[in-house]
A = this chain, B = another copy of it.
Amino acid sequence: MASTATFLAKTPIRTTPFPKTLKSDPSPGSRLSFSLVAGARRPARAIRSCRIACALIEPDGGQLVDLVVPAGPAREGRRREAAALPKVRLSRVDLEWVHVLSEGWASPLRGFMRESEFLQALHFNSLRLPDGSVVNMSIPIVLAIDDTQKKAIGNQRKVALVDANNKLVAILSDIEIYKHNKEERIARTWGTTAKGLPYVKEAIQNAGNWLIGGDLEVIEPIKYNDGLDQYRLSPVELREEFLRRNADAVFAFQLRNPVHNGHALLMTDTRRRLLEMGYRNPILLLHPLGGFTKADDVPLSWRMKQHEKVLEEGVLDPETTVVAIFPSPMHYAGPTEVQWHAKSRINAGANFYIVGRDPAGMKHPKEDRDLYDADHGKKVLSMAPGLEKLNILPFKVAAYDVKKQKMDFFDPSRPQDFLFISGTKMRDLAQNRKDPPDGFMCPGGWKVLVEYYETLLETVTNGSVTHFPGVQKQGSSKQR
């Protein structure tokens, strides 16, 4: 996937939407301090008086967490120390969570959850801090170990976390080991225990019966070496980019699907509304999720190619758009997960969050219905503890207007003129090399999708059943 990076560099756009900021060592010395909350549910009048110099929204807990050990003697010291510690091997998803934690997306969380944090996440979707304030935290960020590992750890207070190749990744200190009640965790997180939830199959079902929490020190920044690392900007780097661009509002758009013109319309319209509210330079954070996704989602590398086309062809304005990868794995936990998607973007500097229909939703794994009510995501988000400072922008419904021959906001006075093109429909069209209606997606973006589905079709075995093994075969840890 080095091709994406090369391709982007060649793109003849005015300002690359993929910030040129190179990932630097995120040592504490380079951290900014964020002391002002900008635009948090203020009345429009107050917002109008906000000057461009407004600071970005304050991260949860007041300061971004940075868990990467500074290069040099400290790092070498940790390596020596780790050699003598019991080892816990991380799965791919575990490693994604180490990445998430290390860069402060879950600030003020400083490591895998101990039981008190786990229980608060499960029951209250939030954490109470020592000063009595509350931050949102809806998804348990936990590390499972099995009986053998627990026994090997014994009474030791620290463990070394290693990757699949036994390479040292991090040290977990002041550890607490507690029961992993999978049924309860699943029920409270997903609101169902039906078999077939993608994250459960990937990361919980076969995981150990214990959870180990503690303070995390990550030896060096997490890299995937898949040609996309330069787009994995940390919250600190995103904040630097927003400040560099003189953003006085940042609106985040979480996605795990290709961008069609309905999405683009929504993002463009959001910027227009923010300008009307008195902001002078609202910046869009187009923020595709980069961690674990289910097998039938379009893989990250193809999505990144598609997003690039959307900017290259001017559907979104590169001047006011930052595209970066959000390193979290996907839970598909609907109203519970959308809070995590929003909270982590506060830490990245966003003070506006666009929420759509059925965010982080999917079909029920066993019943013929959506798992979540399509409206619950935005309702829960608007009421969630710890997200009061975030402005929630509900999605207007966009659909294909057959009269105007373009994507437009749905007009309930003439429903017959609108065509809803679902993800499934889009996939069917691309797989069968049929074109979508004009104006549904920019041609270059559509071509990327067709190419992707062609790589899948090459693996069809007998012409009647479409398998998706190609997704797994592409070799990158980010390809699902």
Partner-B contacts on A (CB < 8 A): 115-116, 119-120, 122-126, 128, 132, 134, 138, 179, 181, 183-184, 187-188, 190-194, 335-336, 372-373, 376, 379-380, 383-385, 388
Contacts and interface: CB of A to CB of B under 8 A. Distances in A.
Contact of A373 (B132, B138, B179, B383): B179
A180 to B, nearest CB: 11
A116 B379 contact: yes
Contacts of A379: 115-116, 119
Contacts of A384: 123-124
Contacts of A138: 123
Residue from the set A122, A179, A181, A191 with the largest chain B CB neighbour count within 10 Å: A191
A190 B380 CA distance: 19
A119 B385 contact: no
A383 B120 contact: yes
A124 B179 CA distance: 22
Contacts of A119: 335, 376, 379-380, 383
B383 A124 contact: yes
Residue from the set A116, A379, A385 with the largest chain B CB neighbour count within 10 Å: A385
A139 to B, nearest CB: 12
A224 to B, nearest CB: 33
A122 B126 CA distance: 13
B128 A385 contact: yes
Contacts of A128: 383, 385
Contacts of A184: 191-192, 372
B192 A123 contact: no
Nearest to A375: B115
Contacts of A187: 187-188, 190-193
A179 to B, nearest CB: 6
Contacts of A115: 379
A384 B120 CA distance: 8
- Sorted nearest first, the 6 A-B pairs with minimum C-beta distance are A184-B191, A187-B187, A187-B191, A193-B193, A188-B191, A123-B380
24 contacts: A116-B383, A119-B376, A119-B380, A120-B383, A122-B191, A123-B336, A123-B384, A124-B125, A124-B383, A128-B383, A128-B385, A132-B388, A181-B191, A181-B373, A183-B191, A184-B191, A184-B192, A187-B187, A187-B188, A187-B190, A187-B193, A188-B188, A192-B193, A385-B385
Nearest to A366: B183
Contacts of A125: 123-124
Contacts of A124: 124-126, 383-385
Contacts of A116: 379, 383
Residue from the set A134, A379, A383 with the largest chain B CB neighbour count within 10 Å: A383
A187 to B, nearest CB: 4
A79 B396 CA distance: 44
A428 to B, nearest CB: 29
B192 A134 contact: no
A217 to B, nearest CB: 26
Contacts of A335: 119, 123
Nearest to A388: B132
A67 B193 CA distance: 38
Nearest to A138: B123
A128 B382 CA distance: 11
Nearest to A120: B383
Contacts of A188: 187-188, 191
A188 B376 CA distance: 14
A188 B336 CA distance: 11
A109 B103 CA distance: 41
Residue from the set A132, A134, A188, A194 with the largest chain B CB neighbour count within 10 Å: A188
Nearest to A127: B383
A282 B385 CA distance: 35
A122 B336 CA distance: 10
A376 B126 CA distance: 17
Contacts of A132: 388
Given A119-B380, A124-B124, A181-B191, 16 more contacts: A115-B379, A116-B379, A116-B383, A119-B335, A123-B125, A124-B383, A124-B385, A126-B385, A128-B383, A132-B388, A179-B373, A183-B194, A184-B191, A184-B192, A184-B372, A193-B193
